Structure 1
Amino acid sequence: MKATVSSKDLARLLATAKGLVERKAEQPALRNVLLQAEGTEVRLRATDLETTYIGACAAMVDEAGELCLPAHKLAEAAKALPAENAHLTAEGPDLVIEAAKLRYLLRGLDPVDFPAALEDDTRAVPLEAQALAGALNRVIFAAAKEDTRYNLAGVRLEVREDNADLLLRMVATNGHVLCLCDLDLDPADNAMALLEEFKAGALLPNRAAKAMLGMLPKEGEVTLGLGRDWTTLRVNGDLLRVRNPECDFPDYDKVIPSRPPLQAIVPRQKLVQVAKRVALIEGGRERRLTLKFSEGLLELSAANPDLGEAREHLEIEWPRGEMTLGLNARYLLDVCGALSSEEISLGIKDEHSQVTIAADSEGDSRFLGIIMPMRL
């Protein structure tokens, strides 16, 4: 291998790739990336066997070849390169990187040990990159961590029919908070076939969802592929391929009320500011907030037996008398942070039922957050 590539492009590819590579993976090859030079480009492949990233950038290739190299150390080296271009040269299984007066030599493995690429079975639909990134960011924080509940450790993708419209729904929950966001699909773009083939949906694991967010550009169109076994994302010449895990996602429709009988209209930014100030005093792991609704007012309070207590109120629209319930402060702030509208609607059935959080403004209207109450 002998090639010249933009240092910035190489660093970009490796920034995404290293997120999929475990430093202590049992198979030594899985701690590495496969670097290939051929034709007019340099390609890079990283995988944990469940998720694979394939990226490419333009290069001047004098001699084709491939190397299997340590992902994280190569990413660090690429990020540190002092010159605009990097010269890559193979020395047996090792790689020499030269830029300006800097020279790295990284030890590699036999490329034969790196897992072979697999084919996917997905149907592709075009989406605006900004819309896809916005939907993912609105829900991903609600996903469970990998070490708690595996079937909740990611973002569920579904294709749904809503009257005459087709929707791509993204849902995430850890059992205490749930967020969902819908994106419109064009029926002409494979979406009708997807409705039949993708009824079961798929879970996009946390690591894959974060890699997807890292790939998405600020503007332009990307291609999302959905299938029985795989989910893919194509951005220009880059590909993310995710194996759909076999797991049962809970029937979340059961916790979504058709329309809560009581609606409180609350200024979002004001609620966030008050919640942050009051929650400071609680300081515990649960960060319990008490919300007391009364005519025209919402009082937030928190107490800690060792530190003291705090309370503050704000003006709201509320249709009835007093009601008091408890919510986790972090979940309340996270859901409010997923919205951008000036006012939000808190849907409440009673003190012991889940609270829905939504907004009517364009851009937020396809989002719904649900928080389970805490015992006071």
Structure 2
Amino acid sequence: MKATLERAVLLKSLGHVQSVVERRNTIPILSNVLIEASEDGSLRLMATDLDLQVDEKVSAEVSQAGATTVPAHTFFDIVRKLPEGAQVELTASDGKMQVVAGRARFNLQTLPRDDFPVIAEGELPHRFELPAATLRQIIDKTRFAISSEETRYYLMGIFFHVADDALKAAATDGHRLARVTVEKPDGADGMPDIIVPKKCVGELRKLLDEVDGTVELSLSDSKIRFGLGNAVLTSKLIDGKFPDYNRVIPTANDKLLKLDPKSFMAGVDRVATIASEKTRAVKMAVENDKVTLSVTSPENGVAVEEVPADYRNDSLEIGFNARYLMDILHEIEGDTVEVHLADDAAPTLLRENDDSPSLYVLMPMRV
């Protein structure tokens, strides 16, 4: 194999694929990236952890077709440190790959291309397209609520399903819930309910930054593939049943509180400065035209701040985890956040307004 390409092109593509590779691997080939040069003038880079796979093609000057695999993180670090604008020549033979750029030369150990595992996709019967901007919105507004508790593995991803003639995406960790509703794309009818794993969501979000048009989604009960221009991301889906999250979305919270989300978030952030890491609890005393935020910490003292608000109901005191509350407020883009309250023990609903595609549910804390 022999190919030459510009450092910037190689570095960008390597950045996409190498982040899939785990730092510690008991199977040596999983630490490697597959490099395949074709006579049509393309260089294919691919990495996998057996659950997730990124495959990307870039243009290159290929003088000899062939394929090999080299340690992903080492190769990435080498290319990253090469001079800007350099032409990088890759030559593989006899169990080694030589990387040459200007006066710099590296010889890397390789493993055979035939040993490199590829995720067998099988039949992916459901296909549709989503605008990249819509997919970015779905991820940004839900992923903070994905659970990291391995005993509840079925919560460790974003749940996608078609309901009420719309495509809905939800994530929850049992303390908070985030849901986004978007227009149902053509071809999504009959798709199975799926849970896309957290790692796949993270890698997909990085790749989406460089996609302007649409993303092609192909899926089955067990796998999903995202077509992102020159890159293809394939992932296994979480094999589990996502809980019926609709049961926790309150419909009878009749006390409406309206605030400016930015000043509300800043106030919560300031009083939470003295909160202990364990509790992170902030108390909200809700009255006409104001919310008094307070934190009491046995170690650090007391913090209080008043935030202007619009409220026309009986006064109420309720407590929330400050970090969870700020995560939600960070995703509110308008000038107003609606907080629908019932009492100090009931789930609270937050959203921009009735027409907002996203809504959030937050469980209160005892304070």
Please name the residue that 1:9 is paired with. 9
Q: Partners of 2:299 and 2:283 in 1: how far apart? A: 18
Q: Partners of 2:201 and 2:11 in 1: how far apart? A: 20
Using the size of structure 1 for normalisation, the TM-score is: 0.92
Q: Per the alignment, in what secondary structure is the counterpart of residue 347 of structure 1? A: strand
Is the CA contact (8 Å cut-off) linking 2:138 and 2:169 kept in structure 1?
A: yes
Residue 215 (str. 1) matches residue 210 (str. 2): no
Q: Partners of 1:347 and 1:159 in 2: how far apart? A: 26
| One-letter identity of the residue aligned with 2:21 | V
Q: Partners of 1:77 and 1:315 in 2: how far apart? A: 54
In the TM superposition, what whole-angstrom CA distance separates every residue of 1:245-293 from its partner, at most 9, and x where no partner exists? 2112221111012252111111111101111111001132221000111
| One-letter identity of the residue aligned with 1:61 | V
Q: Partners of 1:73 and 1:149 in 2: how far apart? A: 35
Please name the residue that 1:108 is paired with. 110
Q: Which of residues 333, 345, 351 in structure 2 aligns to 1:340?
A: 333
Please name the residue that 2:78 is paired with. 77
Q: Per-residue deviation at 1:222?
A: 1.6
In the TM superposition, what whole-angstrom CA distance separates every residue of 1:121-173 from its partner, at most 9, and x where no partner exists? 3322222112211210111111112645322111112122x2xxx32222111
Q: Per-residue deviation at 1:191?
A: 2.2
Q: Partners of 1:6 and 1:167 in 2: how far apart? A: 44
Please name the residue that 1:33 is paired with. 33
Q: Partners of 1:212 and 1:135 in 2: how far apart? A: 12
Q: Partners of 1:3 and 1:353 in 2: how far apart? A: 63
Q: Which of residues 192, 195, 208 in structure 2 aligns to 1:203?
A: 195
Mean Cα deviation higher: 146-155 or 94-103: 146-155
Residue 257 (str. 1) matches residue 250 (str. 2): yes
* Residues 117 and 142 of structure 1, relative CA distance in 2, 3 Å threshold: closer
Q: Partners of 2:303 and 2:211 in 1: how far apart? A: 41
Q: Partners of 1:278 and 1:366 in 2: how far apart? A: 30
What is the RMSD of the two structures over their aligned residues, measured on CA atoms?
A: 1.6
Please name the residue that 2:23 is paired with. 23
Q: Partners of 1:361 and 1:348 in 2: how far apart? A: 15
| One-letter identity of the residue aligned with 2:80 | K
Q: Partners of 1:31 and 1:317 in 2: how far apart? A: 56
Residue 191 (str. 1) matches residue 214 (str. 2): no
Give unpaired runs (5+ residues) of structure 2. Answer: none
In the TM superposition, what whole-angstrom CA distance separates every residue of 1:39-61 from its partner, at most 9, and x where no partner exists? 21000111111111111101111
Q: Partners of 2:286 and 2:137 in 1: how far apart? A: 32
Q: Per-residue deviation at 1:83?
A: 4.1
Is the CA contact (8 Å cut-off) linking 1:261 and 1:347 kept in structure 2?
A: yes
Q: Per the alignment, in what secondary structure is the counterpart of residue 9 of structure 2? A: helix
| One-letter identity of the residue aligned with 1:4 | T
Is the CA contact (8 Å cut-off) linking 2:22 and 2:31 kept in structure 1?
A: yes
Residue 320 (str. 1) matches residue 313 (str. 2): yes
Q: Per the alignment, in what secondary structure is the counterpart of residue 246 of structure 1? A: coil
Residue 143 (str. 1) matches residue 146 (str. 2): yes
Please name the residue that 2:291 is paired with. 298
Q: Per-residue deviation at 1:178?
A: 1.1
Residue 52 (str. 1) matches residue 53 (str. 2): yes
Amino-acid identity (%)? 28
Q: Per-residue deviation at 1:230?
A: 1.2
| One-letter identity of the residue aligned with 1:220 | G
* Residues 218 and 263 of structure 1, relative CA distance in 2, 3 Å threshold: farther
Please name the residue that 2:265 is paired with. 272
Q: Partners of 2:331 and 2:84 in 1: how far apart? A: 39
Q: Per the alignment, in what secondary structure is the counterpart of residue 98 of structure 1? A: strand
Q: Per the alignment, in what secondary structure is the counterpart of residue 126 of structure 1? A: strand
In the TM superposition, what whole-angstrom CA distance separates every residue of 1:197-225 from its partner, at most 9, and x where no partner exists? 32xx1111111101101111252222122
Is the CA contact (8 Å cut-off) linking 1:83 and 1:100 kept in structure 2?
A: no
Please name the residue that 2:130 is paired with. 127
Q: Partners of 2:212 and 2:354 in 1: how far apart? A: 22
Q: Partners of 1:258 and 1:64 in 2: how far apart? A: 62
Is the CA contact (8 Å cut-off) linking 2:161 and 2:191 kept in structure 1?
A: no
Q: Per the alignment, in what secondary structure is the counterpart of residue 300 of structure 1? A: strand
Q: Per the alignment, in what secondary structure is the counterpart of residue 190 of structure 1? A: coil
Is the CA contact (8 Å cut-off) linking 1:121 and 1:230 kept in structure 2?
A: no
Please name the residue that 2:365 is paired with. 374
In the TM superposition, what whole-angstrom CA distance separates every residue of 1:281-318 from its partner, at most 9, and x where no partner exists? 11322210001111111111001111100011111111
Mean Cα deviation higher: 323-332 or 248-257: 248-257
Aligned residues: 363
Q: Partners of 1:267 and 1:116 in 2: how far apart? A: 50
Using the size of structure 2 for normalisation, the TM-score is: 0.94
Is the CA contact (8 Å cut-off) linking 2:224 and 2:235 kept in structure 1?
A: yes
Q: Partners of 1:330 and 1:292 in 2: how far apart? A: 18
Please name the residue that 2:233 is paired with. 240
